[in-house]
């Protein structure tokens, strides 16, 4: 599209070699160099790219549309509080494997040295009974006793470190359980908020459907079962959209007609 500059809120790019998904992503990307558009509002994620067979979570899209209009669900404050609580929980699980390995090695070292001390003590006692020289055996026993004392100190330290690690691991498990509980509560509040928006925007949604070309009956969003593109067009008409939506194979002859019907900036594109 080099040298082919298009300006306005109703632009027809159906003859241009540009992929609709790429165009929609660029419109929402402030760093895109080849396109300039206002920053997107929340509904853009749901209805920024309008095309037949598109995926649409109508409840989520209507909630985003409601927020763009300044509506605030009664659950918003609790959702925000739960968001903060969830973000504050960052369980850091300790390396239990390393702590257990250290404790096991320390225990094995103590056991081995105790056995050596016991054998050497027996040899020393036997040499004394036999009135044989004991200096070398005594020196070895003293060295083993010193090593055993050091090993026992390490064993105590390793066991204490393991106990701390196990306590930290339990605390991390408790924190994760609390986090999961908070996430569940937040998702419940979010579902309730989406249901609130569904009810609050029922009449605007029906009016939007009635204003669209075609045979879409004015149906409440809770019972809407028409094509996803039709539902998305209705949401786009309700929402406050600053960034142009990209419309592929829509029911409008011209970009100007689409702009007027959706009350939003529009770029027509083709696959």
Confidence of residue 5 (pLDDT cuts 50, 70, 90): low
Task: Tell me the pLDDT tens digit for each residue of 46-88.
Answer: 999 999 999 999 999 999 999 999 999 999 999 999 999 999 9
Asked whether the beta carbons of 236 and 201 are under 8 A apart, the reply is: no
SS3 content of the chain, % helix, strand, coil (to 5): 60, 5, 35
Q: If you average pLDDT over residues 249-257, what whole number do you get?
A: 92
Could you tell me which residues are beta bridge partners of residue 49? 246
Q: If you average pLDDT over residues 236-251, what whole number do you get?
A: 94
Task: Tell me the pLDDT tens digit for each residue of 126-137.
Answer: 999 999 999 999
Considering only CA atoms, give the Rg of the chain: 36
How far, in Å, CA of 148 to CA of 111, rounded?
A: 9
Task: Tell me the pLDDT tens digit for each residue of 78-106.
Answer: 999 999 999 999 888 888 999 999 999 99
How far, in Å, CA of 179 to CA of 162, rounded?
A: 25
Confidence of residue 37 (pLDDT cuts 50, 70, 90): confident
How far, in Å, CA of 143 to CA of 120, rounded?
A: 11
Q: Is the pLDDT of residue 218 over 60?
A: yes
Q: Is the pLDDT of residue 1 over 70?
A: no
Could you tell me which residues are beta bridge partners of residue 269? 248
Task: Tell me the pLDDT tens digit for each residue of 140-182.
Answer: 999 999 999 999 999 999 999 999 999 999 999 999 999 999 9
What residues does each domain of the chain span? 10-70+201-269, 88-196
Q: If you average pLDDT over residues 99-127, what whole number do you get?
A: 96
Asked whether the beta carbons of 50 and 251 are under 8 A apart, the reply is: no
Percent of the chain with pLDDT over 90: 82
Percent of the chain with pLDDT over 70: 98
Q: Residue 201: is it exposed, middle or buried by C-beta count within 10 angstroms (0-12/13-18/19+)?
A: buried
pTM of the predicted model as reported, rounded to 2 decimal places: 0.74
How far, in Å, CA of 162 to CA of 155, rounded?
A: 10
């Amino acid at each position: 599209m080099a040298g082919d500059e298009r300006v306005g809120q109703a632009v027809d790019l159906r003859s241009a070699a540009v992929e609709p998904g790429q165009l929609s992503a660029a419109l929402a990307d402030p760093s895109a160099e080849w396109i300039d558009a206002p920053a997107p509002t929340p509904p853009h994620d749901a209805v920024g790219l309008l095309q037949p067979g598109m995926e649409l979570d109508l409840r989520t899209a209507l909630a985003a549309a409601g927020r763009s209009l300044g509506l605030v669900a009664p659950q918003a404050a609790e959702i925000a509080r739960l968001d903060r609580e969830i973000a504050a929980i960052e369980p850091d699980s300790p390396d239990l494997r390393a702590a257990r390995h250290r404790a096991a090695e320390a225990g094995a070292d103590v056991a081995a040295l105790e056995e050596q001390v016991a054998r050497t003590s027996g040899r020393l006692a036997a040499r004394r009974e036999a009135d044989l020289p004991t200096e070398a055996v005594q020196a070895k026993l003293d060295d083993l006793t010193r090593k055993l004392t050091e090993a026992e100190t390490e064993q105590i330290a390793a066991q204490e470190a393991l106990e701390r690690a196990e306590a930290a691991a339990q605390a991390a498990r408790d924190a994760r359980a609390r986090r999961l509980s908070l996430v569940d509560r937040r998702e419940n509040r979010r579902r309730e908020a989406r249901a609130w928006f569904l009810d609050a925007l029922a009449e605007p949604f029906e009016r939007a459907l009635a204003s669209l070309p075609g045979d879409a009956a004015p149906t409440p969003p809770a019972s809407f079962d028409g094509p996803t593109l039709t539902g998305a067009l209705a949401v786009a008409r309700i929402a406050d959209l600053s960034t142009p939506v990209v419309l592929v194979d829509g029911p409008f002859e011209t970009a100007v007609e689409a702009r007027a019907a959706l009350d939003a900036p529009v770029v027509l594109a083709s696959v």
